[in-house]
A and B are shown apart, each in its own frame.
Chain A
Amino acid sequence: MPRISPEDVAHVARLARLHLSDEELTTFTGQLDAVLGHAADVEALDLDDVAPTSHPYPLTNVLRDDVVAPSLDRAEVLAQAPEVEDHQFKVPPVLGEAP
């Protein structure tokens, strides 16, 4: 039985803001199913008492001194944006459609 269906792939593509053609949906479903199938080898492991590792080197509460320091140059940052207005990033309407 496949581990992931075309409906699942279409759902995650939507969550990830990616559009897939019908052909891509078929190809990606097969490929993702193969990779997830490889995960079967860890399913037999008894991991109930094992703590998860999210970070390999233990560092906690990394804070900088609370002093003012130069930040990135605003003009240089905005110069890379696709569209800018009044020193702000400009996007199409968030609600509804452009008039």
Chain B
Amino acid sequence: MSAREIAAAVRAGERPAREVLEEHLAVVDARDGELHAFNLVLADEARAAADVIDDRVAAGEDPGPLAGVPVALKDNLCTRGVATTCSSKILEGWQPPYDATVVARLAEAGAVLVGKTNLDEFAMGSSTENSAFGPTRNPHDPTKVPGGSSGGSTAAVAAGMASVGLGSDTGGSIRQPAALCGVVGMKPTYGRVSRYGLVAFASSLDQIGPITTTVADAATVFEVIGGHDPLDSTSIPRPSPEIMATLGDGVAGLRIGVIDELMGAEGMAPDVLARTLEAVAALEAAGATVGEASVPAAVYGITAYYLVAPAEASSNLARYDGVRYGLRVDAANTADMNEASRTAGFGDEVKRRIMLGTYALSAGYYDAYYGKAQKVRTLLIRDFEKAYEEFDLLLSPTTPTTAFPIGEKTADPLTMYLNDVCTIPSNLAGHPSMSVPFGTGDDGLPVGVQVLAPSLGEDTMFRAAAVLEGAAP
């Protein structure tokens, strides 16, 4: 049952929200011991919230477009009075004094919060293995990673422990796990969803987005959480996006470009390429004009990203100093206390990125690294602009391979980073993009195809995603 079907049944009084919730909690009980999608399950709070929804329906009220829909929240989204850890020891036990805007909007729409989900510490990773609380496993094959960093929310949705998940996407952290777990994952245009209450990783790249089992569910959640928020100064001053109205319009007449440089990216697996070409054929059969697109700077995306994101992270994570919240390790003076707290609280990947960012920003190296990366970002935006003169949408695989074994890439950070080759360009340009499941690889595991659009082009992007969903093998 999709989230839209759940909400329709709950609003019509045909199914109690409580019954829907209990079904999902039963799956949590059965599977989460093995999968570890959740850092925290809020069973009692969720039951109380579901009962309130049912009372409102009984009283003749409409609880909203997500009435009774069980939701899993990535544990870097602030929930007032409820532990928010970022899967880091440095924030273990922290209870934020406010709700993220997306959390408030989901509640207003009638959604029921099932729990907080696991992630790579501070969203830094592509496999959810960098969590201080242990890895999450892929529901399709528990010996494999679910992808990351939103691996917990994605595994929760793929396993049926929640109907909808929210993740954050800085370099692919929604789309890459969605591809590896066989669900839909969408990153909005930068600024379209408020970041208020999202614990910052790389502020010029971070966006919150939905993880769902259907394209229409992703559209509905995006409509609920999107739109201007005065609490985020980077929020685009536009009302809530309208996606559902045109979702079924098809792709007839649309020009769709397949990104050459990403099809030929380092490490691209033949089975993933084959599914992508089948997706291209499906769009063509549905009336789209398909061609080869060139975005030459896309191949430099990883280099730019792994300088820009750590630079911003090194600044953002300076706030964890043992003074106002989170872990404090006592020492004789404040500087030593700062260092002891950060050394004990952060994991290795976070330390690596803080040091990389500090180095890229330091005197003598700024121009060579951070400055250069910012210029590559401009090149990439120009290349996209050129491609969008010729095409309405662009297409690529979401990831170079299907899900890989747990432990395979943890020793070699650079190999892990190469996973994000197809997803990073959209973050650097601030463009929307989404992953739609499209068949399986030779190993039987899910493959995702990525649809990319220019800024504010989500409505057109979703039309192509809906066609792909209908044509998927």
* Chain A residues within 8 Å of B, Cβ to Cβ: 4, 8-9, 12-13, 15-19, 28, 31-32, 34-36, 38-39, 41-43, 45, 47, 50-57, 59, 62, 64, 72-73, 76-77, 79-83, 89, 91-98
Name the B residues within 8 Å of A56 (CB-CB): 190, 204-205, 377, 381, 428-431, 455
Question: Are A31 and B334 CB-contacts (below 8 A) given A42-B372, A81-B324?
Answer: no
CA distance A41 to B340 in the complex (A): 37
Question: Are A83 and B190 CB-contacts (below 8 A) given A12-B355, A56-B430?
Answer: no
A42 touches B359 (CB 8 A): no
Q: Mark B379-390, 1 if CB is under 8 A from A, else 0.
A: 101000000000
Q: Mark B306-324, 1 if CB is under 8 A from A, else 0.
A: 1100000010001001111
Considering only residues 193-244 of chain B, those with a C-beta below 8 Å from chain A are 204-205, 230, 233-234, 236-237
B372 touches A72 (CB 8 A): no
Name the B residues within 8 Å of A96 (CB-CB): 333
Further contacts, 7 of them, CB under 8 A, given A28-B351, A45-B379: A4-B359, A28-B352, A52-B377, A56-B381, A59-B237, A89-B323, A97-B332
B314 touches A16 (CB 8 A): yes
A32 touches B190 (CB 8 A): no
Q: Mark B427-465, 1 if CB is under 8 A from A, else 0.
A: 011110000000000000000000000010000000000
CA distance A98 to B303 in the complex (A): 45
B325 touches A80 (CB 8 A): yes
Name the A residues within 8 Å of B191 (CB-CB): 57, 59
B351 touches A18 (CB 8 A): yes
Q: Which of B300, B332, B339 contacts A19 (CB 8 A)?
A: B339
A28 touches B334 (CB 8 A): no
Q: Is the CB of B116 closer than 8 A to any CB of chain A?
A: no
Question: Are A12 and B337 CB-contacts (below 8 A) given A28-B351, A50-B379?
Answer: no
Name the A residues within 8 Å of B246 (CB-CB): none
B300 touches A62 (CB 8 A): no
Name the B residues within 8 Å of A57 (CB-CB): 189-191, 234, 236, 430, 455
B358 touches A16 (CB 8 A): yes
B340 touches A19 (CB 8 A): yes
| A-B contact list, 13 entries, CB within 8 Å | A15-B358, A16-B355, A35-B414, A36-B356, A38-B414, A39-B306, A39-B373, A50-B379, A52-B378, A57-B455, A72-B97, A76-B97, A80-B96
Interface size on B, residues (CB 8 A): 74
Name the A residues within 8 Å of B133 (CB-CB): none
Question: Are A13 and B378 CB-contacts (below 8 A) given A39-B307, A57-B236?
Answer: no
Question: Are A53 and B377 CB-contacts (below 8 A) given A18-B346, A82-B322, A92-B330?
Answer: yes
Question: Are A47 and B372 CB-contacts (below 8 A) given A18-B355, A34-B413?
Answer: yes
CA distance A56 to B189 in the complex (A): 9
Q: Is the CB of B25 closer than 8 A to any CB of chain A?
A: no
CA distance A39 to B377 in the complex (A): 14
Name the A residues within 8 Å of B230 (CB-CB): 64
Considering only residues 256-305 of chain B, those with a C-beta below 8 Å from chain A are 299-300, 302-304
The 8 closest A-B pairs by CB, nearest first: A56-B430, A52-B374, A82-B328, A97-B332, A53-B377, A76-B97, A47-B375, A80-B325
Name the B residues within 8 Å of A93 (CB-CB): 332-334
Question: Are A50 and B324 CB-contacts (below 8 A) given A18-B351, A38-B414?
Answer: no
A73 to chain B, nearest CB (A): 6
A34 touches B414 (CB 8 A): yes
Name the B residues within 8 Å of A9 (CB-CB): 355, 359
B338 touches A17 (CB 8 A): yes
Q: Is the CB of B11 closer than 8 A to any CB of chain A?
A: no
A98 touches B333 (CB 8 A): yes
Name the A residues within 8 Å of B404 (CB-CB): none
Q: Mark B351-381, 1 if CB is under 8 A from A, else 0.
A: 1101110110010000001011111111101
Closest residue of chain B to A73 (Cβ to Cβ) is B97
B413 touches A31 (CB 8 A): yes
